[in-house]
Structures are given as structure tokens and as C-alpha cells.
A and B are shown apart, each in its own frame.
Chain A
Amino acid sequence: MERNGSLLGSSFRFLTGTVLIVWLVLPLVPLAIWSFAKGWFYPSLLPKVWSLRAWEYTFSDTSGVLDSLWLTIGISLAATALSVLVGVPAGRALGMYQFKGKSFVELLILAPMIVPGIAVVLGIHSIFISMGLTNTVQGVILVHLIPTIPYMVLVMAGIFANYDPAYELQARSLGASPLKTFWYVTLPAIMPGIIVGALFSFLVSWSQYILTLLIGGGRVVTLPLLLFNFATSGRNDITGAIGLIYILPGIVILLLTAKHLSGRSGAVGGFGQI
């Protein structure tokens, strides 16, 4: 029986592993091939001529890919940092306290995940114009908070729902100031949640297209915008190269969080607990 069970388990692992590879990796193979191809047309199974042209262009000064890469990293990092600043206290309030209108606040925070971004951003656009925030990096960072904050708040609310604030009282009683209490007691306890929430926020910001396009007005060219430009202009080789760069953070983060996502941490398990 035992052998049978472990056999079943290993074949199940093999099956899920195969499905993951087919779904996640296979679609990337044409991208990778394209980035090294110099023309690749039907009916040839593989390109006739290989070339590093696309990669050379991608990393050249004229393409603007590197500038766009740094800009995208900067915007995503800033949006993530702001999400953490808002999400930690908001998650604490939702996860730990009962107050009037709590379910309304929850709905408000979840709304951006339900309402299409384009509907929200049209209204915001006119406000941002009057504030002079359109076509600026700051405006793009701010508008990215609409989809990132809900992720951060939800993860943190789950963490705080399982958190015992008595540890903070204990630290105060042992002579720690409120700031030191946060640093030495609260922060280590909620760190797994902050990491997972921040990674989510980073990825969500990283992949924004519509919000960036509308608020940035085409002046703030992040990687998705650039990618879209090349994709629509038919440069499949350059699209392939940029596409591979574009998915890199996603893969890195997937590997980093594999442990957390497997349920060994409360960070993700906490989703349903507020």
C-alpha cells in the first residue's frame, strides 16, 4: 500500500510538473527562438539564419530598451514601497480591529480588483490633469497604486488576523519604545507577509499597460509600452528579446516565493481570514 501511495504521489508530481512546464515554459520557446532569428517564416520549423542582431539592437543606446528597463524598475519599486507604507497599517486595521463601516472599507479596497482599471482611470485622468500629474513619472507611480494596494492590504490583513498584539505590550513593558517595538517585535513577525505582498505589488505594477499609457500619455515609456510598440510594428525578433527581459522578474519572483506559495507560510494562507 505504502509503495503504491508513494508511486501515486510521484506520478502526480510528475504530472503537475509536466503541466507547469507545458503551460509556463513552452510558450516562451518561440520568443527565445525569435530573438535569435533572422527571418523565420512558414513552413520552416526553425529559422534558416541565426543572428544576434535583435539582442545587439536591444542593448544599444538607440533602442531605448535599457532606459525603459531602468524606468520600469524605478516605477515598480516606488509603487511597491508606497503600497507597503499604505498596506501594512491598513492591513493591521482590517485584520485586527472591529470598527464601524469595516465591510464598506473592505469593499472600497477590493473595488479596484473588481472594477476595470480603464473605468477608474478615466475619472482619475481628469483629476490628474488639473493637478499636473499627467505625463509624469510621479503620476504613473500614483496610478499604479490602484491595483497594487489591494494585494498588499489583503496579504497584510491575513497576516495580522493571525497576529497576537500582546507581544507588543510585552516589549513595551520590557522597556522598548513604540518605534523599537515595531522594529524588533512587529516587523519580524509580519516580514513574510510584507515580502509576499511586495513581490505581488511589484509584479502588478511591472505589468501595467493601460494605466501607464493613459496617465503617462505616451511620455512615460515603460517596458510593456515599448514591448507593445515593437510587437505591433512586426519586429518579432526584437519583441522576443524584450519579451524575455520583461518576463525575467516574474520568473525570479516565482522561484523566490515558491516556498511561501506552497503553503508553508501564513502569508498566502491568510487571504481568506479577514
Chain B
Amino acid sequence: MTHVSLQALTKIYPGSTEPSLDKLSLEIPSGELTALLGPSGCGKTTTMKMIAGLLKTTSGDVVFDGRSILQDKPEDRGVVMVFQNYLLFPYMSVAANIGFGLKMRKINQAEIDQRVSDMLDLVKLPDLGSRRPSELSGGQQQRVALARALIVQPKVLLLDEPLSNLDAHLRFEMRDLIRNLQQDMGITTIFVTHDQEEAVVLADKVALILDGRLKQYDVSSAFYSRPVDKATALFFGGQNFISGEVNNGVFASSFGQFQLHDKTENGPGTLTIRPENIRIDSGSGGSNSVVASIVEKIYMGTQTRLQCQVGDTLLQVIANPNDVEGYTVGQDISLALPAQSLWVLRS
């Protein structure tokens, strides 16, 4: 159980003036599973390598349980990183791969064999110890890589894009495996991903990093309901942005006024609502409802996407197909924007 604290962690690569990672500060509580989320090149793998000691920091500190580990060598940090392409040693058997960390710790072979066999059971590959890594499927290789990391009982486990190389049906299996093992062993775990879905399904908390800077560090639902800015909202699939002004709990836009649920300071801002939170109104014309004309309608099986024009604003709506069955392109539709789904972004 290790509390990880990143303090103003910064990396400027030689020959570059722009920092790849700019003063990243994060408190990761003991035993939690945290995602570093961001597009490729945003500095998330850089962060992992600095925690693992595989890359020098430019400035800032990495602190485990109150003690800076920056001076510790990679092999002494108790951090194990699992790379995206697994990096199983090709000329060793699966069992030798898994036992590698224990061998480096000079544990006797009988105990290594025992613990490797336990670990193979744990990752559900009981009979594959004598195989070569090249004889395994991608999903099996990943489980071996995970077993190889977990067997040394690291203080901190780092996973690089743990689900992105897997087929859809394997993803959930792997997700459950990672979550269960991580919870059982209580290992503080950080993983990086560019896929918001991967971050949301796996992590306790998500840190969104854009352009080397931390945007938001929160539980995953907050990124949908309360994004800190437009870039964050866009990254999580937000599509509706209405400019206007807040005045005593009411948002005034060019095409109507909307009651806000949250206490919001007065001043200009951008109103956002997720496409799936806009409701189809029966036409009662209650508060927070607008009449829009349908520009486009796409049936997608479990949902129907509507594009609706109100004034000069296009609203994206994701609706239950049954609710919009009777509507066609060109028709007017009454949309309700529930107060508790509205969120005001400040520029």
C-alpha cells in the first residue's frame, strides 16, 4: 500500500523548449487505480517512465509515502512497468519470464517455481509455463506480462495502454482481471491510455492531460457532467456548446433562457449539455425547453442521433429510437434541457 504523490513533475526533452510535461501534480491514494488519460504525445508515457525511473526528470518530485524516490535506481523503486507491447523476453519460457523478477531478487528456485505456478493460476494460464512467448496469443501474452509484474508485489504498478491491443470481448475479461488482482493485492496502480472509454471502465479516478498539462483529476463521471473547460468536454464527446451569460441562476442565450440547477456565478460563459441528456418534450412547453427543427436523423440501432437547429445553434441529441419514431427531417421538435444536466464552462 503506497501513496503516490507527483509534485510539479516536469519534463523538457533535450533540444526542445516546450515542456512535454508541465508541472504535473497529482495525489494518488494508496491502493487506487488511476488513469492518466490524453491523446498520444500528451506526456502520459513520459510521466510513467519518470515514475519508474527509466527517464530523468527535468524538475519536480515523485514521492512515495512521504519519501522522494528520485534518487533511487529503477530496480530499487518497487515500481514495475508493463509496456504496451508486453516485451516478454523471447528466448525464455513463460515460466522463466514470470519468475524473472524473483530471480533478480535472488530467491531460491524452488520458491520461484511455486510462486510462478500460483501466479499462472491467478491469471488463468495454468498449463502454459513451458511455452515460449511467441506461441501465445496477444491476450495470453498480456496476462503473462501482468503476472510477471505482479509476482514481485510492487509498491506501484504502471500499465501502458493495458486494454488497447485487445479485441472487444477480451477487453472486459482483461479489465475484470486487472481490477480484481489490483484490488486483492492492494497495489497502487497507474495506467495510461488515449481511450476515454478504457479510462472510465477501469479507473477509480481519471487524470486528463492535454498538451502536457493536467486539465482535470476527478472521478470519471465528473468528466461527463462537470468538465472544467471546452477541451475537456470535447475529449469526452461533449458536442453542445451554447454561448451566453449567467444571471442569478439563469443562463440567457440568443434563443432562450435556461434555469440552472447548480449555483453559478454571474457572467459570460458557455452552456453545455451532453447529447444523451437532452430529452424529447411532448410539447408542453415547460421551462428549459426549446423548439428546434430537425436537420438530420440517423438511426443507429440502440439509439437515434438527431441534429436540430435552434437559431444559429446546432444541438446534437441522442434519443431513444422509440421517442423519435414519428419525427422526420424538417419537422419541428420540442427539446427539454433538464436543469440538473446543464453545466456552464468559463473561458
On A, residues with C-beta under 8 Å from B are 164, 166-167, 169-177, 180, 184-185, 188-189
Contact = CB atoms under 8 A, between A and B. Distances in A.
Given A166-B83, A180-B104, A172 B91 contact: no
B80 A188 contact: no
A170 to B, nearest CB: 4
Interface in B125-174: 148-149, 152
Contact of B52 (A173, A176, A177, A184): A173
Q: Is the interface of A mostly helix, strand, loop or mixed?
A: helix
Contacts of B75: 172-177
A169 B54 CA distance: 7
Contact of A174 (B53, B90, B91, B149): B149
Given A173-B52, A174-B104, A185 B152 contact: no
Given A169-B74, A170-B83, A177-B75, 5 more contacts: A166-B83, A173-B74, A173-B81, A174-B101, A174-B148
A172 B74 contact: yes
Interface in B68-124: 73-75, 79-81, 83, 85, 87, 89-91, 100-101, 104-105
A21 B94 CA distance: 45
Interface residues of B, number: 23
Given A170-B81, A172-B75, A173-B80, A189 B104 contact: no
Nearest to A173: B81
B249 to A, nearest CB: 52
A185 B148 CA distance: 15
Contacts of B73: 172, 177
A170 B146 CA distance: 12
Contacts of A180: 104
Contacts of A170: 81, 83, 87
Given A166-B83, A188-B91, A175 B104 contact: yes
A134 to B, nearest CB: 45
B104 A167 contact: no
Interface of B: 49, 52-54, 73-75, 79-81, 83, 85, 87, 89-91, 100-101, 104-105, 148-149, 152
A174 B152 contact: yes
Nearest to A164: B87
B101 A185 contact: no
Given A169-B54, A180-B104, A175 B152 contact: yes
Which 5 pairs across A and B sit closest by C-beta, in order of nearness?
A174-B101, A172-B74, A175-B104, A170-B87, A173-B81
Contacts of A169: 49, 52, 54, 74, 81, 83
Contacts of A171: 89, 100, 104
A173 B79 contact: yes
Nearest to A176: B104
Contacts of A184: 89, 100
B103 to A, nearest CB: 8
Contacts of A176: 75, 100, 104
Nearest to B90: A189
- In this complex, the member of A166, A169, A180 whose beta carbon has the largest number of chain B beta carbons within 10 angstroms is A169
A236 B91 CA distance: 50
Nearest to B145: A170
B137 to A, nearest CB: 20
B136 to A, nearest CB: 17
A272 B137 CA distance: 32
Given A173-B79, A173-B81, A175-B101, A185 B89 contact: yes
B88 to A, nearest CB: 9
Contacts of A189: 90-91
B87 A166 contact: yes
Contacts of B79: 173
